[in-house]
Structure 1
Amino acid sequence: MTVLLVLLGGAVGAPSRYLIDRYVQRRRDGVFPWGTFTVNLIGCLILGLLTGSAHTLPAHVVTLLGTGFCGALTTFSTFGFETVRLLEDGSFREAGLNAVGGLILGTAIAALGYAVGAAL
């Protein structure tokens, strides 16, 4: 059952990542990877909410949404690739913003989600 829940969540998370990424990136100019940045922050918020409220949620919901959906929605490999690409292209400020900003904002948003989830 766990494998099916992860597959189902991933089947929704992966196309969601693509659609959100394309939607955001089409509306932003410049070299900064706003689409990937956005989906990773959304994933941090959802994972924070799930972790904070895990004591009240059934385990299958956490598996479906946390492991399946968020696992397919978020992407560390693309984050890393885009950061290196920015460095190789000489876009040092954007690379730093992507790496440091993503880590700081991602942690802060996950903590916020955790606090909200724990309060529910």
Structure 2
Amino acid sequence: MRNLIYIFLGGGLGSVARFMISNYSQKLWNIDGFPMGTFVVNMTGCFLIGILSAYFLKVDNSLRYLLITGVCGGYTTFSTFSAENYSLWQNGNYGMLILYALSSLILGLIMVFLGFQMLKS
């Protein structure tokens, strides 16, 4: 039951952080319709989950539910990512769709790897 409370609290914190960072990033870097707010959240979320996953391989405790399942789960926005890609496709903005989808996937994988490598050794 305690782990569910951790997930609940972390999810709320992650969702609020996602909302604030996404809105701020989109206003700061408004680049020709590119969904920069979601992109920034996804990349930082991938990096954070890489760091936390590496840490909790060494230290197994209930905080992983708060931080990984809760905060990271509430923070990352791949459902929004998919909806935005669909919207780009519907609007015929195929170049931006390809740029956004591929850069999110490739850089996300790289960021998880880098985050993991920082704490793996």
User: 1:66 deviation in Å?
Assistant: 0.4
Give the counterpart of 1:61 among 54, 63, 78: 63
> What is the aligned partner in structure 2 of residue 77 from structure 1?
79
> What is the aligned partner in structure 1 of residue 11 from structure 2?
10
**Matches of 1:37 and 1:88 in 2, distance apart?**
19
1:33-77, Cα deviation, whole Å (9 max, x unpaired): 000011111110111011112133342121111000000000121
Secondary structure (helix, strand or coil) at the match of 2:86 reads helix
**Matches of 2:16 and 2:57 in 1, distance apart?**
29
Runs of 4+ in 1 over 2 A off after TM superposition: 55-59
> What is the aligned partner in structure 1 of residue 52 from structure 2?
50
User: 1:86 deviation in Å?
Assistant: 0.9
Secondary structure (helix, strand or coil) at the match of 1:81 reads helix
The RMSD of aligned alpha carbons is 1.1
**Matches of 2:114 and 2:55 in 1, distance apart?**
12
> What is the aligned partner in structure 2 of residue 21 from structure 1?
22
Counterpart amino acid of 2:109? T
**Matches of 1:3 and 1:40 in 2, distance apart?**
24
> What is the aligned partner in structure 1 of residue 96 from structure 2?
94
- Structure 1 residue ranges without an equivalent (≥5): none
1:88-117, Cα deviation, whole Å (9 max, x unpaired): 112211111111111100000000001112
- Structure 2 residue ranges without an equivalent (≥5): none
Secondary structure (helix, strand or coil) at the match of 1:54 reads helix
What is the count of residue pairs matched by the alignment? 119
| TM-score (ref. length: structure 2) | 0.93
| TM-score (ref. length: structure 1) | 0.93
> What is the aligned partner in structure 2 of residue 38 from structure 1?
40
**Matches of 1:13 and 1:57 in 2, distance apart?**
22
**Matches of 1:28 and 1:53 in 2, distance apart?**
32
